[in-house]
Amino acid sequence: MVAPSLRARVRAGMIDEIKAVARRHLATDGANLSLRAVARDMGMVSSAIYRYFPSRDDLLTALILEAYDALGDAVEAADAGVDRADLRGRWHATCRAARTWALAHPAEYALLYGSPVPGYAAPEDTVAPASRPPLTLVGIIRDGFAGGRLDPPGAEPPEPVRSDVAELSALLAVDLPPSLLARGMAGWTQLFGLISFELFGRTNGMLPHRDEYFDHQTGLMADLIGLPAA
């Protein structure tokens, strides 16, 4: 690997700085990111930004990708920090990490999980990083089931749900009975529903003890899945 030229390094630094400034604007001004304001903050004229990002949407896409990666990192690190056998502890740590990241980066979370930007279509590259949190969650369930510490719930879902979920199970390469994977997906849905409700102000006022409420609600889903305590 050849050393990048000075020009290339300066360019990479500029791209990073633009993204950093844009992230700052995102945090203060919300989702309507202004290219001109970013340029002003950098002492540049707006057209100069187009040397680095072909359009505002491309800059947004870059921010979205990095946000997905940051969330994925946080979630996976939290899971990895708990004893592999402590399934319920891993579940709670994973859920909490997602919420903590979201509370620390509300604008970026809204970019990922809020209403899609009108003319904007998420490019293909986002699906892999976007699937890291749910994969972490089903990983916990897979470990429990493979280790014989997680009994599948009695009845399988009725057709055609059973086959749909079974196909998804094969696609994800997790060897789980559909009944169990369906419950895991319920936990996934619940997790981001909880975070969105809290962040978008749907539960404002009621429930003063938000941390504890969050833990209790994610615990209910752990119950539904059947995750045993450590």
Partner DNA sequence: TCTCTTGCGAGAGCGGTGCTCTCATATCAG
Partner DNA sequence: CTGATATGAGAGCACCGCTCTCGCAAGAGA
Please give the Cα distance from 82 to 86 (Å, whole number): 7
Residue 96, contacted partner among its own copies, DNA, none, CB below 5-8 A by kind = none
Cβ proximity to DNA: between 51 and 149 the closer is 51
Of positions 20, 50, 167, 216, contacts DNA by CB under 7 A: 50
Of positions 43, 83, 119, 124, contacts its own copies by CB under 8 A: 119
24-45 residues labelled b (16+ CB within 10 A) or e (exposed) = ebbeeeeeebebeebbeebeee
Residue 163 has phi, psi (to 5 degrees) of -70, -40
Instruction: For residue 222, give Cα distances in angstroms to 118, 125, 139.
Output: 35, 31, 14
Residue 149 has phi, psi (to 5 degrees) of -105, 10
Name the one residue in this structure whose structure tokens are 């700085």: 17
Stretch that binds DNA, among 37-45, 90-98, 173-181, 187-195 (CB under 7 A): 37-45
Question: Binding mask 13-32 vs its own copies (x if CB under 8 A, - otherwise)?
Answer: ----------------xxxx
Name the one residue in this structure whose structure tokens are 């540049």: 44
State the sign of the Cα–Cα–Cα–Cα dihedral 172, 178, 184, 187: positive
Which residues sit at the interface with DNA, rule CB under 7 A? Answer: 5-7, 10-11, 14, 33-37, 43-48, 50-52, 54-57
Which residues sit at the interface with its own copies, rule CB under 8 A? Answer: 29-32, 110-111, 113-119, 122, 130, 157-158, 160-161, 164-165, 167-168, 171, 182-183, 185-186, 189-190, 192-194, 196-197, 200-202, 206-209, 212-213, 216-217, 220-221, 223-224
